[in-house]
Amino acid sequence: MFEFKLLKESSDSKARLGKIITNHGEIETPIFMPVGTRATVKTMTPEELKDIGSQIILSNTYHLFLRPGTDIIEKAGGLHKFMNWDKPILTDSGGFQVFSLSDNRKITEDGVEFRSHIDGSKKFISPEISIDIQNILGSDIIMAFDECAPYPASHYYIENSMKRTLRWAQRCKEHHKNVDNQTLFGIIQGGMYKDMREISAREMVDMDFKGYSVGGLSVGEPIEIMNEVLDFTTDFMPKSKPRYLMGVGSPDYLFEAVERGIDMADCVLPTRIARNGTVLTHNGKMAIKNAVYKEDFTPLDRECDCYTCRNYSRAYIRHLFNVDEILGMRLATIHNLYFLLKMMENIRESIRGDYFLEYKNDFYKKYGYK
C-alpha cells in the first residue's frame, strides 16, 4: 500500500506537513532520509537508526547491483531482510551513479552501457533493468531510471536528456508490476532551464506517478539558482503527492527545500562529514579534530540530547579521532544524523504551529547562515 496525506500547508511559505503510509510503516513529512549506500548506513546498526528517529532510509541500486549483486539479495529475501531493517526503504534508480561514478558510459535510447567503478567490467542498465533490480530489492519506494545531467550543461544537451528521461519514465511505469508493495516515483529533470523544468514536470505529472522527485539540483550550482529552479518546479507538482528533492542534506538546503514545498530529501553529507570529524551544531559546523577541543569537556552541542552528547565530551571524541578509533566516527555519525532528524522534527512542529519561517530565521541566526 501507499498513501500520502497532506495534513497542513503553511501560511508563510509553501512548507507543508504530511504523512506517507507504506507497508513497512508511516513516514512523517518533511523528512530527511539517511543514506545506506551499500545496505548499511555507514557505521550504524538498524536499532541505532531507529533510536535517533529514522523513519525511512535510502539505499543505492547501482552499488547493490555491483556488490553483493542482485542475486544475493534476492536469495536473502530482499533488502529489508538482508540488512535487518524493517522500516521503509527508498531505492534510487542507479541513474545518478551510472552517470557520476562509472567509466566509459555509452548512452543509447535503450539504456546505458558502462564499466563498473569497482572492477572495470562491462555492465548495462536500462529502465526495465533498473525496475527489475528494484523489484528484487523490494524497497517500498522505487525511482524511475533517469539521467542526472551535469552542471553546467547547454540547453540543447538538457533538452535531449530530459526528453529521453521522460521516455524512460514511461517505460519504467509500464514495466513496474509489483505496484501493491512498491511505489514508483517519477523524476523531474530539466537542468537550470525553467522551460525544460516546466515540460518535464507537466509530462511527468501527466504520467500519473504516486510521487515525484526533483533531480538534477544540488549538482554544483549556487544555492540561489537551486532555490529559484526548485521554487519554479514545485508549482507544477500536484499538492496531493509527495515531493522528493534528491541529494540534499545540509541544514540550509533542507530549510530552503521545505520552504519551497519539498517533503523528502536524502544526502550522504551528514554521515560523510561525520567520518571526517565534522559535526553539525546549533552554532554551526565544528571540526572536532581541532586542538582547541583538547581539554574541552563539554558535549559536541549543548542543545543536543543525542546519545553522543549525553555521554561524551569534545575532548574524548577528539581523542578518538586523533588516534583513529572507529568509535569516534560512530559517535559523530549518530550526532549528525540525530541533529538533522531532530531539526526536521522541529520543522514539522513549526509547520503544524504555522511558524516555519520564524523557526527557520531563528535557526539561521544561531547557525551563522545569512
Beta bridge partners of 28: 19
Q: How far apart are CA 145 and CA 123, in angstroms?
A: 15
| The only residue of 325, 349, 358, 361 in contact with its own copies, by rule CB under 8 A | 325
Q: How far apart are CA 197 and CA 233, in angstroms?
A: 6
Which one of 140, 263, 266, 301 is the catalytic residue?
Answer: 266
What contacts 24+ positions apart, CB below 8 Å, involve 148-153? 148/95, 148/96, 148/99, 148/100, 148/189, 148/215, 148/216, 148/219, 148/246, 149/189, 149/191, 149/216, 150/99, 150/219, 151/191, 151/192, 151/216, 151/219, 151/220, 151/221, 152/192, 152/221, 153/191
| The only residue of 114, 145, 312, 338 in contact with its own copies, by rule CB under 8 A | 312
266 classed as catalytic: yes
Residue 172 counted as an annotated binding residue: no
92 classed as catalytic: yes
Distance of CA 24 to the CA centre of its chain: 18
Q: Which stretch in 9-17, 80-88, 97-105, 232-240 sits in contact with its own copies by CB under 8 A? A: 80-88
CB 262 within 8 A of CB 214: yes
By CB under 8 A, residue 44 contacts its own copies: yes
As a residue count, the chain comes to: 370
CA dihedral sign of residues 159, 164, 167, 169:
negative
| The only residue of 35, 39, 169, 351 in contact with its own copies, by rule CB under 8 A | 39
Size of the site for its own copies (CB under 8 A): 34
3-state helix, strand and coil shares in percent for the chain, rounded to the nearest 5: 45, 20, 40
By CB under 8 A, residue 82 contacts its own copies: yes
Smallest gap from Cβ 72 to its own copies, in A, equals: 6
Q: Which stretch in 133-141, 191-199, 239-247, 325-333 sits in contact with its own copies by CB under 8 A? A: 325-333
Q: With respect to its own copies, which residue has the nearer C-beta, 37 or 227?
A: 37
Residue 93 counted as an annotated binding residue: yes
Q: With respect to its own copies, which residue has the nearer C-beta, 108 or 276?
A: 276
What phi and psi values does residue 112 have, to the nearest 5 degrees?
Answer: -125, 125
| The only residue of 320, 332, 344, 347 in contact with its own copies, by rule CB under 8 A | 320
By CB under 8 A, residue 45 contacts its own copies: yes
By CB under 8 A, residue 148 contacts its own copies: no
| The only residue of 179, 297, 303, 358 in contact with its own copies, by rule CB under 8 A | 297
Pull the grid cell for residue 351. Answer: 509547520
By CB under 8 A, residue 52 contacts its own copies: no
| The only residue of 10, 22, 29, 43 in contact with its own copies, by rule CB under 8 A | 43
Smallest gap from Cβ 169 to its own copies, in A, equals: 30
Q: How far apart are CA 353 and CA 66, in angstroms?
A: 46
Residues involved in catalysis: 92, 266
Interacting residues with its own copies (CB under 8 A): 38-40, 42-45, 63, 67-68, 72, 75-76, 82-84, 294-295, 297, 311-313, 315-316, 318-320, 322-323, 325-327, 329-330
